[in-house]
Amino acid sequence: MMRTAERLRTFRFLALFPLSVAAGAGPALAQTKAYVAHTSQNLVTVIDTATGTVTGTILVGAAPTRVAMTRDGTRAYVTNRDSNSVSAIDTASDAVIETIPVGDSPTYLAVTPDGKRLYVMTASGVVEVVDTTLGTIAGTITVGSSGDIAITPDGTRAYVAAGLVYVLDTATNAVLKSFPAETATIPSVTNTATSVAISPDGKRAYVGAYTFNFTGGGFGAGGSIVLVDTASEAVTGAIDLGSLPGPIALTPDASRVYVGIQSTFVNTGYGSGFLPGRHIVVLDLITNDFAAIILLGNTGNTASGIVVTPDRSAVYATVPSLGVVAVASVNTNSLTGSIPVASGPGHLAVVPSAVTLVPYVVEAVDESATISSAGGNAIANVLANDRLGGLHATTAHVTVTQQSSTSGGVALDPATGAVDAAAGTSLGIHELVYRICEIAAPANCDDATVTVTVRAPFVIDAVNDSASTVPGRMALASVLTNDTLDGTVATAARVRLSVVSSTAPGIQLNLSTGSVFVLVGTPPGTQTLTYRICEIASPINCDAADVTIEVNPFPIDAVNDTGSAPRTGGTALGNVLANDTFAGAVATIARVRLSQLESTHAGIALNAANGAVTVAAGTPLGTYTLRYRICEIATPSNCDEAIVTVTVTHIAIMAGNDFARGSSKVANTALASVLTNDWLGGARATAATVRLSFVSLTPANSRIRLDVADGSVDVLGKTDSGLYTLVYEICETAMPANCARGTVKVDLSGGR
């Protein structure tokens, strides 16, 4: 890595992004202070950010929770949750100069840019507007639930993250609109806004949102930073965090946002739950992307407050579990120290100051490559390992320019960062020096050298291959196995694969491994794929070869079936596929297509959607056949046929045996009806559906009679006592040949 004297001077003297002070707000104080609230200690700690030391503590009300600074840095306001008040601290003397009564359990608060009003969130979801001059409540705004507050730099809008995002008009102290913290509405997924920060230019609000997912009967949780355009007052995008966000802090130039992670939902398969966060996420606001993390140590070391110092040199994060304020570098995204404070440090705020921003460290890293004199791309992008402030540098962050090259054939493309060597470049070692400069600070630069070794082209040989398989399987592990480069086996690290042509789209070449896969649906037969290998170090040094694949069809077997159904209709067979096979497994509707070829009776039909064979009502008794075909869905020409033999039967008829007891002394009815437990086709037999007839009585007795009209068994008068067996028959009225017999045991006693 090379740095010029000019760049070193830049680090010492360059003034980047000076912060302006709002008109009427007064000059920014030349202070380097941060104020930390300690809820359990009823005090605020004062830290000198220049020295990283505690300079004192300030007693405030009960359970201080949040701190807000005026833009001119003269006042710090602290909400006292348990004493329902706000303490006003004079930052020059670090003393409480006023205590302002407010509503129930105040938490979040924000100060207007002119310092004249405080917006204080109470536990009941009411935002109280405090006149700081009079120390009185000037208005109230109901949003319904408690949440974080941020005010735009022009003071016209206040944003509240309280489940929904609420936009307040500070002129009228009214809710202008509210909307969910989400880019799209998804059923069973809810986003809950919990925190908010406004960019220094006021163009964007950054809203921390919890995401709860109840899709499919399960549960998952995550989070994101939702981007809100303040001009349209609408969500324009989101940056996924994968975890639940907490406090948010922006750099003074709005190039980055730091998000404290509160917890991460973990499902191990054995159990699930929320693990406490132990890191800060760094988001790159130039690319709106996840960029890095700052670890705070062990699980449970969760940040409860975050600020970036006005000079952009450090990130301060309170860690209650450790009783410290952790300090991290914006250039390394790692901890550089910690400041011990009273127990339970919570939210903190830093005194604004119009100071010069500490430049991001620019790191251009030397690289080397080898290429043949045939020419081509030597380095895909010199920025791949370059950094800006510890983050990956891209053309969105830096400009790339070529400073020098020892050969006219080795050149840099400033648009892409690629280094190419022209065909015919002389053999040997060539050096190219390039420079990257931060776009936001063009004098903040660094140089690096790319060393390109140009050699003679290697002999490259792609050799033909052949294989056979069925669809859905790998045909060849790698086409490179018998290919060579410079006399040795060609590997994916040395050559780049590409497809030249293929006789079937289902023949797929994996360009990373060289394996050849045959997709399901590829037609059976001989297929050919032509591929090319090119030397990575010399991309125009190439050779091609063919892979011949014999694609075999899957075995498919339709097996004959039998079934039956009554003449009243019904299902003779539940699914003809039950004993059919495809590719060695049971054939299913998802893999094969069914079709009926013919049937010996129109009443016998196949349902192609589910494989059932049905019999229409009224189909005559007899045996019929139905022929069907199954064909592979992916390869419709791969088919087989089978026959279903269907027998149409009588309606099931059943005469159930009975037992009756009667008197032998007088006339009586021993059984009300023999039909009571008789059935026809799944329904109770009745005199309307069956014809009843007497068959026999043993021993014979003329005084015992079956009444065929109503089915009763009657004793006509005094007769001999004893046990009698009566046999009867029922026959289907609509088809008299369909009959069944039943027996009634009649016990005649001598009683009554």
Residue 576, classed as helix, strand or coil, is helix
Poorest-confidence range of 205-219, 308-322, 354-368, 499-513?
205-219
Q: Which of 2-6, 40-44, 481-485, 492-496 has the lowest mean pLDDT?
A: 2-6
Which two tokens mark 535?
């030397």
Token representation of residue 453 = 């070794």
> Nearest to residue 664, comparing CAs of 702, 716, 707, 699?
716
Please state which of the ranges 6-10, 199-203, 647-651 shows the lowest mean pLDDT.
Answer: 6-10
- List the single range of 267-276, 335-344, 509-518, 536-545 with lowest mean pLDDT: 267-276
Return phi, psi of residue 577, to 5°: -80, -10
**How does strand 256-267 pair with strand 279-284?**
antiparallel
Among residues 325, 256, 335, 252, the alpha carbon closest in space to that of 289 is found at: 256
CB 68 within 8 A of CB 109: yes
Give the model confidence (pLDDT) of 261-302 as tens digits: 999 998 877 778 899 999 999 999 999 999 999 999 888 899
Please compute the mean of the pLDDT values over residues 124-142 and round it to a whole number. 96
pLDDT reading at 5 higher than 90:
no
pLDDT at res. 354: 81
User: What's 653-749's CATH class?
Assistant: mainly beta
Of the listed ranges 356-365, 390-399, 537-546, 554-563, the one predicted with least confidence? 537-546
- Spatial neighbors of 524 by CB under 8 A, at least 6 apart, are 551, 552, 553, 635, 637, 638
What's 296's DSSP letter? Answer: -
Note the maximum CA span of the chain: 137
Compute the average pLDDT of residues 46-64: 96
Structural tokens at position 561:
């079936």
Helix (H) or strand (E) holding 30: none
Is the model's pLDDT at 25 over the cut of 90?
Answer: no
What ranges do the domains of the chain cover?
A: 33-350, 362-455, 460-551, 556-649, 653-749
User: Which whole number is the average pLDDT over 145-159?
Assistant: 96
- pLDDT band with cut points at 50, 70 and 90 for residue 713: very high
| Vertex 746: Cα angle to 745 and 748 (nearest 5) | 150
What confidence tier does 750 reach under pLDDT thresholds 50, 70, 90? low
* Adjacent-strand bridge partners of 255: none
Give mean pLDDT, residues 684-697: 95
Mean pLDDT of 501-526: 93
Per-residue pLDDT of 475-492, as tens digits, reads 999 999 999 999 999 999
The overall average pLDDT reported for the chain is: 92
The residue-averaged pLDDT of 223-248 equals: 96
Residues near 172 by Cβ (< 8 Å), separated by ≥ 6?
A: none
At 218, is the pLDDT very low, low, confident or very high (cuts 50, 70, 90)?
A: confident
Interatomic CA distance for residues 206 and 197, integer angstroms:
5
**Residue 81: phi, psi to the nearest 5?**
-60, -45
Full DSSP string of 35-71: EEEETTTTEEEEEETTTTEEEEEEE-SSSEEEEEE-T
Is the separation of the CB atoms in 644 and 576 below 8 Å? Answer: yes
Q: Phi/psi zone of residue 569: left (φ > 0), alpha (ψ -120 to 50 degrees), beta?
A: left
The two beta strands, 516-518 and 525-535, are unpaired
Residues whose CB is less than 8 angstroms from the CB of residue 481 and which lie 6 or more positions away in sequence, other chains included: 465, 489, 514
What are 122's strand-pairing partners?
none
* Least confident range of 87-96, 270-279, 285-294, 689-698: 270-279
**What pLDDT, on a 0 to 100 scale, did the predictor assign at position 24?**
33
Asked if residue 187 has pLDDT above 50, the reply is yes
Q: Which fold has domain 33-350?
A: Methylamine Dehydrogenase; Chain H (2.130.10)
Rounded alpha-carbon distances, angstroms, from residue 151 to 158, 169, 312, 715: 4, 10, 21, 102
Asked if residue 27 has pLDDT above 70, the reply is no
pTM exceeds 0.85: no
pLDDT of residue 14 exceeding 60, the answer is no
23: pLDDT confidence band, cut at 50, 70 and 90? very low
CA distance 630 to 623: 23
Domain 556-649 architecture: Sandwich (2.60)
Indicate the CATH number for domain 362-455. Answer: 2.60.40.60
What's the topology of domain 460-551? Immunoglobulin-like (2.60.40)
Give the separation between CA 150 and CA 132, rounded to whole angstroms.
17
Q: What is the DSSP letter of 9?
A: H
Categorize the per-residue pLDDT at 658 as very low, low, confident or very high, splitting at 50, 70 and 90.
Answer: very high
362-455 against 556-649: fold identical:
yes
Instruction: Supply the pLDDT for residue 751.
Output: 58
The lowest-confidence range among 92-106, 258-272, 363-377 is: 258-272
Task: Answer yes or no: are the C-beta atoms of 383 and 400 closer than 8 Å.
Answer: yes
Q: List the beta strands (DSSP E) in 103-188.
A: 109-111, 117-121, 126-131, 136-142, 148-151, 157-162, 164-169, 174-179
C-alpha 282/C-alpha 277 separation (Å) is: 14
Q: Is the pLDDT of residue 357 over 60?
A: yes
Rg (CA), the chain: 44
Q: What is the pLDDT of residues 344-353, one digit of tens each?
A: 999 999 999 8
pLDDT digits (tens, 9 = 90+) for 437-447: 999 999 999 99
pLDDT of residue 559: 97
Q: How many Cα atoms within 13 Å fall on the side-chain side of residue 534? A: 17
Residues 499-505, mean pLDDT to the nearest whole number: 95
pLDDT of 30: 53
Mean pLDDT of the 147-172 span? 97
- How far CA 749 is from CA of 547, 586, 726, in Å, comes to 96, 64, 16
Burial 610-638 (b: 16+ CB within 10 A, else e): ebbbbbbeebeeeebebbbbbbbbbbeeb
- For 224, counting Cβ atoms within 10 Å of its Cβ (0-12 exposed, 13-18 middle, 19+ buried), the class is buried
In angstroms, how far is CA 659 from the centroid of its own chain?
69
Give the pLDDT band of residue 38 (cuts 50, 70, 90).
Answer: very high
Rounded Cα distance, 309 and 304, in Å: 17
Interstrand relation of 722-732 and 428-438 (parallel, antiparallel or unpaired)? unpaired
What secondary structure letter does DSSP report for 196?
Answer: E
Q: Where are the beta strands (DSSP E) in 342-494?
A: 345-350, 362-363, 367-372, 376-379, 387-388, 391-392, 398-405, 410-413, 418-421, 428-438, 445-455, 460-461, 465-469, 473-476, 484-485, 488-489
